[in-house]
Amino acid sequence: MPYKTLVILSVCTQIVNGITSADIIASHNYPVEIHTVVTRDGYLLNAFRIPNSIYCKHSGPKPAVLFQHGMTASSDVFLVNGPRDALAFMLADACFDVWLSNSRGTRYSRRHVSLDPSDENFWRFSWHEIGTEDVAAFIDYILATTNQSAVHYVGHSQGCTTLVVLLSMRPEYNQLVKTAILLGPPVFMGHTHTLGQIFLRTLIMSMPDCEFMFHNRILNKILTKICGLFVVRVYCSTFFMIVNGKFSDHLNTSAIPLIAATLPAGVSSRQPKHFIQLTDSGRFRPFDFGILKNLINYRSLTPPDYPLHNVRPLTPVHIFYSDDDLSAAKEDVENFAASLPEAVMHRISTPSWHHMDFVHSMTVANVINKPVIEIFKRFEQPIDCEEVYNK
């Protein structure tokens, strides 16, 4: 499989004009590498690596952690909270080898060996292909690069869905995943009621295969400046949270300008369409193409359910969820967990904890990140590193 690697130790502007994940990482004095992975079906995907931290005194190989973002997001989502609160930085400080992936169609992964983003065929994918192809390719690449046997995994939102798809459909990858952390997993979605889905439903379901919610450098730069104004920031944060569920009391409003600079990152219209299909059916299954194409693709009138009994990583799946997450409703998450061979449930009891609070909350370091790091450390041999949480 062809791979490319580009090492960047300072601010990078080579992928897109504007703020990039490499910019954010380098601005906090962390080393950063850019790696390009080619999938089996020809997409060229970029990943950002944080290989080290000044707070880690361990000089040997470090356990690799793969991050996978949600829909409309990119690797940026795991960085904008900064080094004190973002899990990616905290894991680097705790002596883990951090890899931040970007799925096809996002601002960092808009290339193909033969297709152009202006071609409709480029956008003929949903999160099914992101799971079976993109996540698989990232795991293969990381293991080949680091000479390790398995990775730790952190997924938020759609980043949870894609791992479940991979482990269901290509069960050989279960042995390559040490621990799986799923933050707000939208799998079963019969109780999902986000305003974004309600108001955009008709538009989404009528769209052809095309780019949806694309990243626009000029517009994002304008929004960054506007949302950077203190008097306007509250309105930006309110809009951001309502679209993703409902207003949150926990959003890190200081990160709003950077969020505005990086979202949306670009998706295929099939991705939200596929989620709406899950909401309508109450089942977790591949994309519904209609009766005729279903007969061709699945040999049945409707798509078969994903075989969740195949989801068996090396340790039980860790599921973080809350009562007030409208994108991954408590009832649906509990149904999902009951469908897995083994799962450990982490219920967030904090009132009004919503879908984006798993990555953007002011208290995410204590509520989510520290427990996740402890889960990873329990799997690994003790690693010498300084206490970094109060740096």
pTM of the model: 0.89
Helical pair 230-243 and 195-206, crossing angle rounded to 10 deg: 60
CA distances from 123 to 88, 102, 323 (A): 29, 15, 34
The pLDDT value recorded for residue 390 is 47
The pLDDT value recorded for residue 59 is 83
Over residues 232-248, the mean pLDDT reads: 52
The pLDDT value recorded for residue 234 is 53
The pLDDT value recorded for residue 222 is 52
Over residues 141-149, the mean pLDDT reads: 98
Over residues 225-250, the mean pLDDT reads: 54
Q: What are φ and ψ of residue 86, in 5° steps?
A: -85, 130
The pLDDT value recorded for residue 382 is 57
Q: What's the pLDDT tens digit per position in 16-28? A: 346 899 999 999 9
Over residues 61-84, the mean pLDDT reads: 96
The pLDDT value recorded for residue 214 is 59
Local confidence band at 196 (pLDDT 50, 70, 90 cut-offs): low
Q: What's the pLDDT tens digit per position in 118-141? A: 999 999 999 999 999 999 999 999
Catalytic positions, please?
Answer: 157, 325, 355
The pLDDT value recorded for residue 305 is 99
Which segment of 128-142, 179-193, 233-247, 362-376 scores lowest on mean pLDDT? 233-247
Which segment of 144-153, 277-286, 314-323, 347-356 scores lowest on mean pLDDT? 347-356
Over residues 18-40, the mean pLDDT reads: 96
The pLDDT value recorded for residue 192 is 86
The pLDDT value recorded for residue 241 is 53
Better pLDDT: 331 or 216: 331
Local confidence band at 246 (pLDDT 50, 70, 90 cut-offs): low
Is the pLDDT confidence value at 384 over 90?
A: no
Is the pLDDT confidence value at 199 over 60?
A: yes
Better pLDDT: 207 or 231: 207
Local confidence band at 263 (pLDDT 50, 70, 90 cut-offs): confident
Q: What's the pLDDT tens digit per position in 203-229? A: 889 888 989 865 555 554 555 555 555
- The domain at 3-215+266-379 falls in which architecture? 3-Layer(aba) Sandwich (3.40)
Over residues 100-112, the mean pLDDT reads: 98
Local confidence band at 151 (pLDDT 50, 70, 90 cut-offs): very high
Q: How do the domains of the chain map onto residue ranges?
A: 3-215+266-379
Over residues 193-205, the mean pLDDT reads: 77
